[in-house]
Amino acid sequence: MLVNRKAPHGTIYALEALEVALVAGVFDQDVSVVFTDDGVYQLTRNQDTQVIGTKNFSRSYRALEDYGIRKLYVEQESLQARGLATSDLVVLVQVVDAKRLGELMDQQDVVLSF
């Protein structure tokens, strides 16, 4: 399981975590990707980084499915705190509350966080 808790663009963690997810998909592992806290901002629509000159990788989250990664979880509490709904996101995700997210984490062999 990969856990994303940081906003995109302000730091590189989101982009480099996405690169890990894409590689993990190739390994045919049972990979889950979690977006919580500011990590939910990674998935917002309409990102346009042209004027800040950085890479716009937000559309690449759609490619996760092609890499066999279908388990995308977003924490409900984090979405709500930021006034976001699933319709604001670039990909289809499962919305889970904090309690359920904790249970999912418990089931993992490995948790990589960025």
Partner 1 sequence: MRFAILVNAGPYTHQASDSAYRFTRAALEKGHEVLRVFFYHDGVHNGSRLSVPPQDERDLPKLWRELAERHCLDLVVCISAAQRRGLLDASEAQRHGKDAYNLSTAFRISGLGQLIEACIEADRMIVFGD
Partner 2 sequence: MAMLHTINKSPFERNALDACLRIATPGGSVLLIEDGVYAAIRGTTVADKVSTSMKRLSFYALGPDLHARGYSEAQLIDGVQVVDYSGFVDLVVNHESVQAWL
Tokens 């480099």 — which residue?
Answer: 16
Contact residue for partner 2 among 20, 22, 44, 63 (CB under 8 A): 44
53 binds partner 1 (CB under 8 A): yes
Give which of partner 1, partner 2, none residue 106 binds (C-beta under 5 to 8 Å, depending on kind). partner 2
Between CA 74 and CA 36 the distance in angstroms is 6
* 50 close to 56: Cβ distance less than 8 angstroms: yes
Contact 15, 8 (CB under 8 A): yes
User: Is the distance from CB of 88 to CB of 109 less than 8 angstroms?
Assistant: no
Binding mask 47-76 for partner 2 (x = CB under 8 A): xxx-xx-x-x-x----------------x-
The answer to whether 16 contacts partner 1 (rule: CB under 8 A) is yes
Tell me if 106 contacts partner 2 by CB under 8 A. Answer: yes
Which sign does the torsion angle of CA 70, 71, 76, 77 carry?
Answer: negative
Size of the site for partner 2 (CB under 8 A): 42
Among 13, 37, 44, 67, binds partner 1 (CB under 8 A): 13
How far is residue 42's CA from residue 73's CA, in Å, rounded to a whole number?
13
Residue numbers of the site for partner 1 (CB under 8 A)? Answer: 9-13, 16, 19-20, 23-24, 26-27, 29, 52-55, 109-114
